[in-house]
Every structure is written in C-alpha cells, then in structure tokens.
Structure 1
C-alpha cells in the first residue's frame, strides 16, 4: 500500500513559517514583543520565498497589521470608555471595547492556529489576503 503525498518544491522550507506562527501564539499568550519579531522575519523572508511560503508570509504580515490596528482602536476605546465612565455614558462604550479585545485576541489565535496547521501539512494558505479564513 502506498501513500500519496504532495511534496513541496525543493526551494520551499516552511520551518521559518512555523517558527513565526509560534512567535504569534507566544505573543497572544503574554510575550507581546514576539509578534514584532515575527512580522519582521515575515517581511524579510517574504521576498525570496517560494509560492507556498510566500502565501504564509503574506498571511502572517496581514494578521499582524490588522491585529495591531484593531488592538490600537480597542485600546483607545478602553481609555475613553474609562474616562467617560465617571459620568456613566462611557460604561456601554467600555463594555463593547473590552468584548472587542477578546474578539481580536480570538481572531488572531484562530488565524495563527489555522496557518500553523496549513504549514504543518505543507499546503499554502487558502486565502492569504482575506480578513477571515
């Protein structure tokens, strides 16, 4: 009985892709600078990568920048919600902002986990330019 596997092209090495996903997960678990290291590595390696790895690097870069923008908006919202809570109008705003932080964290975790699974299988990202999977 033979197994059919799809081999990666010789110039494809997904080890760095997997390391970057690991850095993203580490940043979500409390070591935030790991994401910055990961996105720098993805930017640098993306220019010389083969098509499979390039799709992962594009996915990783997009995950970082969209996540950073969303975290920034959420942080500003929490700040203003906290200030405005003194006069009670900020409480609903603050609740929405805190729920948003959890949603952004979950979004980044799901994207990193899905990318890690795809990389471990040796396949490219299905839709690397999509906001969702």
Structure 2
C-alpha cells in the first residue's frame, strides 16, 4: 500500500506575485494627476521590496529609483520656476522660468514613460533589465 503523502508530486515552478508591483505602477500613474498616490506607491514599494523574489525586486528597485529621480528633477524645476517668477517682472527671470517649466514638463513625460515600460516588463513576467538606469 503506498502512502499518498510520501509520493512526490511534480515540482511546481514558483511564480512571484505580480499584483503588488502592478498596484505600485498604477498608483504612480494615477499620481501624475494628484501627487498623493505616488507617495503611497513609494511606501508600498519599500514595504514590499524585502519579501519579493528576485524578478519583482528589480521592479521595486526601478520604482523607488523612479520616484527619487523624479522628485530631484521636480525640485530643480520648481526652484527655477520659483526664482524665475519674481525675476520675470524685470525680464531677467524669463529664461529660468522657461527652463524650469521645460524641466517639469519633461519630468512628467519621463515619469509616465518609465512607468509604462515597467508595466510592459511586468506584464511579460520579466525582471526589469536595467533598474538602475537614469533614462528608460
């Protein structure tokens, strides 16, 4: 008589949870319009990163890096706009104002493109190939 517990079933491949990284990507994309959900996504990425498998860890690293780089460029663009507005009354501040506006616009596009590309890799069930990159 054979013991059903002792029988070794076929090994199953471990599949990593893609739901939480997808939620973080969604929070980031929604956050483009309101800003608050990006912070919630960042917190969720930091909390979930340690328990993630190797594939999903690359997505969390990518998401965390996207937030901090985007924030840094938004601060630079925002400072240029803040300096340019009062100085534009004497026409000296127009170039920093335009440059700051351009930086903020490009950061918005860059942020959306990075999130969409991350979602594509996640949908393919692939690790992000370059989570440490500055561009895309």
Answer yes or no: same fold by TM over 0.5: yes
Per the alignment, residue 85 of structure 2 pairs with 82
State the SS of the aligned residue for 1:98.
helix
Alignment of structure 1 residues 17-96 onto 2, 5 Å: 17-28=21-32, 30-96=33-99
**Residues 23, 34 of structure 1: 8 Å contact kept:** yes
How far the C-alpha of 1:11 sits from its partner, in A, is: 5.0
TM-score by length of 2: 0.88
TM-score by length of 1: 0.90
* Aligned: 1:131 with 2:134: yes
Per the alignment, residue 120 of structure 2 pairs with 117
State the SS of the aligned residue for 1:83.
helix
**Residues 14, 53 of structure 1: 8 Å contact kept:** yes
Structure 1 gaps, min length 5: 1-8
Structure of larger gyration radius: 2
How far the C-alpha of 1:45 sits from its partner, in A, is: 0.5
Runs of 4+ more than 2 Å apart: none
* Counterpart-to-counterpart distance in 1, 2:14 and 2:41: 24
* Counterpart-to-counterpart distance in 2, 1:131 and 1:18: 21
Structure 2 gaps, min length 5: 1-12
* Counterpart-to-counterpart distance in 2, 1:36 and 1:11: 28
How far the C-alpha of 1:69 sits from its partner, in A, is: 1.1
Instruction: Please give the root-mean-square deviation of Cα atoms over the aligned residues, in Å.
Output: 0.9
